[in-house]
Amino acid sequence: MLRSIHCEAEIRGDVSACPECSRILKHNIIDGILTRLQEGPHKNLNWEYYTMANLVDLLERKNAIINKLKLHQLNLERSLLT
């Protein structure tokens, strides 16, 4: 939960946060941070900004692609030999 520095500390009606705290979730920078947390970093982002979990995901995807290419190459060589 995010809390605005201008929080009214009082909730009126059946909302989950005061208007100031609700407004902070619509801020461009906060929205970008939340999107990046949910969807992972943009593919053009420099590696220095990746978390360790992001790097492990990237490495697993790279290894999957390499294995797929190796299998494709083996199947191609087999088909050329027969």
- Contacting positions for Zn ion (CB under 5 A): 7, 18, 21
CB of 34 to Zn ion, least distance (A): 17
Going by the DSSP 8-state scheme, the letter that residue 51 receives in this structure is: -
CB of 69 to Zn ion, least distance (A): 53
Measured from the CB atom, the residue of 25 and 66 that comes closer to Zn ion is 25
Measured from the CB atom, the residue of 2 and 55 that comes closer to Zn ion is 2
- Per the listing, tokens 């995010």 go with 2
Measured from the CB atom, the residue of 7 and 58 that comes closer to Zn ion is 7
User: Residue 47: which of 59, 64, 30 has the closest Cα?
Assistant: 59
On whether the CB atoms of residues 24 and 30 are closer than 8 A, the answer is yes
CB of 18 to Zn ion, least distance (A): 3
Q: Residue 62: how many CA atoms within 13 Å on its side-chain side?
A: 6
